[in-house]
Structure 1
């Protein structure tokens, strides 16, 4: 007769084996992974994480599928910040991910989210996440949070002009990933300034020595020395038969409606930081329309005329 303790041991072994088998199948079904070399413990942990991640992404069905995983990672980081009572940072995120992440966190009462890219008009921002008790005193002045540093890239580009992709490519060429670099402010013949993760300053000062064919010197500078040109604002109005995106955007950017339609279909136009894709989308007051290389337009107000057309008031930032 088998002793009682042995029965318990066999039951525990069989239960553990079943869990491992479930985890193995879950990983294959969810991520297409074949975890043949994983330990049972690591396989179970990986499966649990995969199931949780899939559930989190499913709850974000309203988010553009192209960056749903990025928003899910922000929410996971927010949970860690709340649990640890600490301030945690995301990497530098593009505007659509920032906008959707902040929308997803809007109903949270335990975590505050503050975007910061090094200056007020920054396009790519990091999100600082932490409990209200930690974040509230710092919300008014994000510089106190740290999290973003500035790098001066100095060289003589008179005979070999460099553009934004050249500086970005040189930075990434030192072995870092895109998420650790924010905006790059090109300064013409003298070089550029880059917003980066503070932890990279020492690495970039030593590793970044050339952009295109031009030798450069990289050194850290305070954020107060950034050469940021304030956006020029222009208010304008237009009477339109509809509030279609192509109609309003063509008025705001002063180009033909057919040309604007082509830009929208080509993915060069964003509505509220998300790729628009369809010229027929309707806009409303408060919407922001951005066009690659042409700035952005904010819909300030919409009124009806006596002839039942739409009088649209726009603010253009260039």
Structure 2
């Protein structure tokens, strides 16, 4: 959906993370390093999964899609911030701001839905191992990825269509390094009570349903693990889903922390908290999966030898 400018303004002003000129070069080097590490790490995961026949399974298929989503997530915010720091150009066009906010919604929701799909995959693998290959066939895996993308696209378009209907005053300053969707409504001049209610409704639907799906899956997984008689069997079953559980806690933990920080503290502290959610989490995901997964480490070694 093409964003429509109903405000009469042509640009917003991104205030960034700090006003200190001495920190600009340090921030540039830090975020450039994080961005390169994130892109390279997730690309290695994708290449390892695609090149190794042993990893052509539903779990690693979903993992490669999660890595692709993480690349898109961090690429939505960091490159523009690096350009702004390097050129000292703070303004961002109205259409560009809404586009960035739209992609932020898209990839954030896509990460959540992929984590939910991966939780379901773990549920089938642990609770119904004999029927795993039948249930998690290639057709179902492709359908789950397609549905995840369509749901995330719907969430993005619904939220950004609301923001595009809001009237902003002139010289709008966003106390963040990107067009944070949670801050755009608070900067509007018109009444946003209806849009705020709708936004919370969308959060409950597009965010709450995946969380419920993950919680339900792990309740069933834990119940099945506790029924295993041997300690070694319990450990093996738990280690199978430990990496995914850690990524889930990191993703939703930083997301809740970013939301609480922006609600109860200053806007600038909320911007610092959003770094964890939008930048640090996509960087850590490939490390969590590669360091805690023997199959990934073997595939990466074979890939690097080539």
TM over 0.5: no
Find the structure with the greater CA-based Rg.
Answer: 1
Report the TM-score, using the length of structure 2 for normalisation: 0.21
Report the TM-score, using the length of structure 1 for normalisation: 0.20
Name the structure with the higher strand share: 1
Name the structure with the higher helix share: 2
**Greater relative contact order, per chain length (Cα 8 Å cut-off, separation 6+):** 2
